C-alpha cells in the first residue's frame, strides 16, 4: 500500500501546546504512523461524517479526515475527549 500525504490544520499547533508534554510525544508518534496506515485497528469512523476518523491517545482524541482519492490525510484537531465532539459538523 502506497503512503498517504499528511497535513495539519493551523489550529493543531495550538491544540498541541495545550496538551501535557508527556502526551504530546505519544500523539505525534501516532500521527506520524497515519500515512502508512490511515485506518489502524484503533481508529473509528465518526458517525454523520463521511471521511472523519478518530484515534484515542489517553484522554485525547485525534480527529482526522482521509481523502482516499487524493491519498491525503488532514489532521483536523486534537482535543480532550470531553470537548472533541462539540466541534463536529
Task: Give me the residue spans of the domains in the chain.
Answer: 5-87
In whole angstroms, what is the distance from residue 25 CA to residue 45 CA? 24
Q: Which three cell numbers mark 22? A: 508527556
Phi, psi of 39, deg, nearest 5: -125, 65
Please give the average per-residue pLDDT across 61-82, as a whole number.
95
Q: Give the CATH number of domain 5-87.
A: 3.30.2310.20
What pLDDT, on a 0 to 100 scale, did the predictor assign at position 84? 74
Q: What is the pLDDT of residues 19-71, one digit of tens each?
A: 999 899 999 999 999 999 999 999 999 988 889 999 999 999 999 999 999 99
Q: How far is CA 67 from CA 17, 64, 76, in A?
A: 27, 10, 13
How would residue 88 be classed by pLDDT, with cut points 50, 70 and 90?
Answer: low
What pLDDT, on a 0 to 100 scale, did the predictor assign at position 67? 97
Q: Calculate ∠ Cα 19-9-30, nearest 5°.
A: 55
Kindly report the pTM of this predicted structure: 0.89
Amino acid at each position: 500500500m502506497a503512503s498517504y500525504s499528511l497535513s495539519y490544520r493551523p489550529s493543531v499547533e495550538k491544540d498541541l501546546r495545550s496538551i501535557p508534554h508527556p502526551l504530546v510525544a505519544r500523539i505525534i508518534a501516532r500521527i506520524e504512523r497515519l500515512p502508512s496506515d490511515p485506518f489502524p485497528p484503533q481508529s473509528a469512523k465518526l458517525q454523520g461524517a463521511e471521511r472523519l476518523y478518530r484515534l484515542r491517545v489517553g484522554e485525547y482524541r485525534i480527529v482526522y479526515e482521509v481523502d482516499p482519492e487524493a491519498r491525503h490525510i488532514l489532521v483536523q484537531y486534537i482535543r480532550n475527549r470531553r470537548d472533541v465532539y462539540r466541534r463536529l459538523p
